[in-house]
Structure 1
Amino acid sequence: MRLTFDTDVETFRAEFAAFLEANLPTEAEAAERPRSSAHIPAWARRWQRLQFDQGWLLPGNPPEFGGRRASVIQQYVHLEELSRRRICHSYNPQGVGIIAASLLSFGTDEQKHRWAVPVLRAEITAALGMSEPGAGSDLASLRTRAERDGDHFVVNGQKVWTSGAHDADVLLTFVRTDPDAPKHKGISVLLIPTDTPGVTRRPFASYTAADDKDFNEVFFEDVRVPAGHLVGPLNQGWRVASGSLGHERTLMWLGEAERMARAVGDFRPATPLQKDWYATLVMDLQALRLLGSAALARAARGEQDVPALSVLKVLGSEGSQRALERALEAAGPDGLDMSATTAPYHHMGFDDDCRGWFNRYARSFGGTIAGGTSEIQRGIIAERVLGLPRR
């Protein structure tokens, strides 16, 4: 295995780095912070639109969708540079990285230009309506239903943990359209504007950020949605979900690897036991990066390996959590100081990495849940990697 990049890839990296150096908003310009993952301040809308226009928002896309037809390896380098610098290319990450990407993969031409392009240009924001009170990682158990009524669907049900829904303009919503079909077969996907009558959004706080309300409960009561808002074929929503979560997990493993790297870099071992912890974490991080490099090489050859994403998702999220737990233990009582800044961060990054070791550790549990829990990922690995029976 050769863990270096070709000249064209490094040229691509240098061009992107030069773009960042020349165009990043100043700290003063970026003083207004987003209030949720679907709220984009005016300055950040301008920043995202500039990236779109210059082909740097999602470089793997064609130019009309904010890219420059970059190779898989070049796309990785793009994400690596953003992660290394702790820069957000969008403050609506699920809108750009999951919802717009899903529309470009499964939507009609009209949906791509009416919904995906405005999301990519930060003209509107989007949230993902998947989880329900009784269907978290097990999407197939969802009960929000959509019944056909002429040229509309009528939607009734509830979603929860819908990040940024109260600030979003549209929800990519997974609904049950055939209650008699097997669980995985009767699901469809609808684009539901949040100002549609019958849609109620209720934001709530998390215990790690009581003042930061990003999560939402979303209720649908006789919500009428035009049939033209159906994404992909009727009752084929599982394919869209697999694509959506694939986009999410591809991004998440790199994010978790970088988060783990930052935790290891900030770790200050003092005792022999702490030095042993540190050495183990360094080896775990190296193993994660090597496995990720192998998966990246397969993707560059055009090989699809969905189970590998589950492996990386588990190792990345749990490795990051383990690193933060060890660092918190090593910090002792000082680790409980929520006002302490544990690491420098760019003014254009999210703030969740700088509020003390305990806050960083508490937030790490989200990484083992979002995009499919570790338990669900282990089930996928058991069946599709190890070939074990379901029971």
Structure 2
Amino acid sequence: MQLTFDADIEEFRQEFAAFLDAELPAEADAAERARSSADIPEWARAWQRKQFDAGWLLPGNPPEFGGRNAGIVEQFVHLQELSARRIYHSYNPQGLGIIAASLLTFGTPEQKQRWAVPILRAEITASLGMSEPGAGSDLAGLRTTARLDGDHFVVNGQKVWTSGAHHADVLLTFVRTDPEAPKHKGISVVLIPTDTPGVTRRPFGSIASRDDHDFNEVFFDEVRVPAENLVGKLNDGWTVANGSLGHERTLLWLSFADRLDDLLRDFRPNTVLDNDRYASLVMDSYALRLLGSKALARAARGEQDTPSLSVLKLLGSEAVQRATEHAFSAAGGDGLVHPATTAPYCHMDLEQFYASWFERYARSFGFTIAGGTSEIQRNVIAERVLGMPRR
């Protein structure tokens, strides 16, 4: 396998690199940090709008939605360049990569203009209301209800782990609209503005967050939502759910590969990691990039290979978790100490530079949960890759 790109792809990369060289905000203008994954500082809003207007926000989108109709390989190169420079293109990643993308796939023309474009232009931010206290990995077990009352839905229930909800303007919320239907068949999706009466958001911390809170529990008490906020067809929310997570997973493996490479660079000066463990992690990194490149090539040929995304997600998330676990173990008591290091303002993993090895290890558990747990990925691989029976 020769991992090189054609001349036109490299030309695309150079054009994007020139845009970054010319337009990236100055460090002095970008000192304010985001407080959650749905909180965008003013300088970052301006930066996201600049990318949107130039067609560099999401190159695979049409120009009217912040892109330039780029192919999958060009989209990969775009992410590669952002990653190499440690640059965020949005401080509301779920809004950009899941919610706006879902609206562009399943939304009406009016919804695209009213909701998707403002999210893409960082004029509003969005969070994803999927998980519930009794329905995390099993989304089809959700119990939040939406009852149609005239031209409104009346929503009651609870969500949890809703990242950034306390700063979000709107929630893409999965609700049960037909309690009599089989559990996969009675789900719908509605957009709920967070200032709607009856919506309560309560942020909470985690073992991996010292200061800023991102997780929320969200309560809906007789929340009236216009029926026109229904995304997709009534009782067909399972289709939207699969599309939403598909948007999240498409090139997710690249972020895991970059995280793993960052960790490997950090090991030698900061920990005493035995050669066998270090070598195993290096092999994980190579395997992830080679398998990811193979999947990318298939996608470029127009071949559908959804199960391979489960393999990549499982390998990448668990490799990062193993890496941080080994580092924390090797560091001993020093692994609990916060390093006094300074990170570039635009670094994609800014928090890790202010975190102990323990915090980085604790945070890694989120990678094996978000976007589909490792257990679910193993089920997908068993059934759709290995051909094993469901029972």
Contact residue 85 and residue 346 of structure 1 kept, 8 A = no
Contact residue 88 and residue 346 of structure 2 kept, 8 A = no
Q: Which residue of 2 aligns with 1:312?
A: 312
- Runs (4 or more) in structure 1 with deviation over 4 Å come to 269-273, 343-346
Q: Which residue of 1 aligns with 2:126?
A: 126
Q: Which residue of 2 aligns with 1:116?
A: 116
Q: CA RMSD in A?
A: 1.6
Q: Which residue of 2 aligns with 1:352?
A: 351
Q: Which residue of 1 aligns with 2:369?
A: 369
Are positions 1:88 and 2:88 aligned together?
yes
Q: Is there any run of 5+ residues in structure 2 with no aligned partner, and where?
A: none
* 1:332 Cα deviation after fit: 3.0
Aligned pair count?
390
Contact residue 269 and residue 275 of structure 1 kept, 8 A = no
Q: Which residue of 2 aligns with 1:12?
A: 12
* 1:272 Cα deviation after fit: 9.9
Measured against aligned partners, the alpha-carbon deviations of 1:133-152 in whole angstroms (never above 9, x if no partner) come to 00011101100011111111
Measured against aligned partners, the alpha-carbon deviations of 1:238-273 in whole angstroms (never above 9, x if no partner) come to 111111101112243221111011111222189997
Q: Which residue of 2 aligns with 1:143?
A: 143
Q: Partner letter of residue 51 of structure 1?
A: Q
* 1:303 Cα deviation after fit: 1.7
**Separation (CA, whole Å) in 2 of partners of 1:328 and 1:241:** 36
* 1:15 Cα deviation after fit: 1.1
**Separation (CA, whole Å) in 2 of partners of 1:107 and 1:336:** 46
Q: Partner letter of residue 352 of structure 1?
A: E
Q: Is there any run of 5+ residues in structure 1 with no aligned partner, and where?
A: none
Contact residue 271 and residue 327 of structure 2 kept, 8 A = no
**Separation (CA, whole Å) in 2 of partners of 1:380 and 1:185:** 20
Q: Secondary structure at the match of 1:127?
A: strand
* 1:345 Cα deviation after fit: 4.3
**Separation (CA, whole Å) in 1 of partners of 2:316 and 2:332:** 25
Q: Partner letter of residue 26 of structure 1?
A: A
Q: How does 1:39-54 map to 2 (within 5 A)?
A: 39-54=39-54
Q: Which residue of 2 aligns with 1:230?
A: 230
For normalisation by structure 1, the TM-score amounts to: 0.96
**Separation (CA, whole Å) in 1 of partners of 2:273 and 2:43:** 47
* 1:208 Cα deviation after fit: 1.7
* 1:324 Cα deviation after fit: 1.6
Contact residue 187 and residue 236 of structure 2 kept, 8 A = yes
Q: Which residue of 2 aligns with 1:70?
A: 70
**Separation (CA, whole Å) in 2 of partners of 1:85 and 1:320:** 20
* 1:126 Cα deviation after fit: 0.3
Contact residue 272 and residue 330 of structure 2 kept, 8 A = no
* 1:27 Cα deviation after fit: 1.5
Contact residue 253 and residue 288 of structure 2 kept, 8 A = no
Are positions 1:326 and 2:289 aligned together?
no
Q: How does 1:155-304 map to 2 (within 5 A)?
A: 155-268=155-268, 274-304=274-304
Q: Secondary structure at the match of 1:37?
A: coil
Q: Which residue of 1 aligns with 2:60?
A: 60
**Separation (CA, whole Å) in 2 of partners of 1:388 and 1:356:** 41
**Separation (CA, whole Å) in 2 of partners of 1:350 and 1:164:** 17
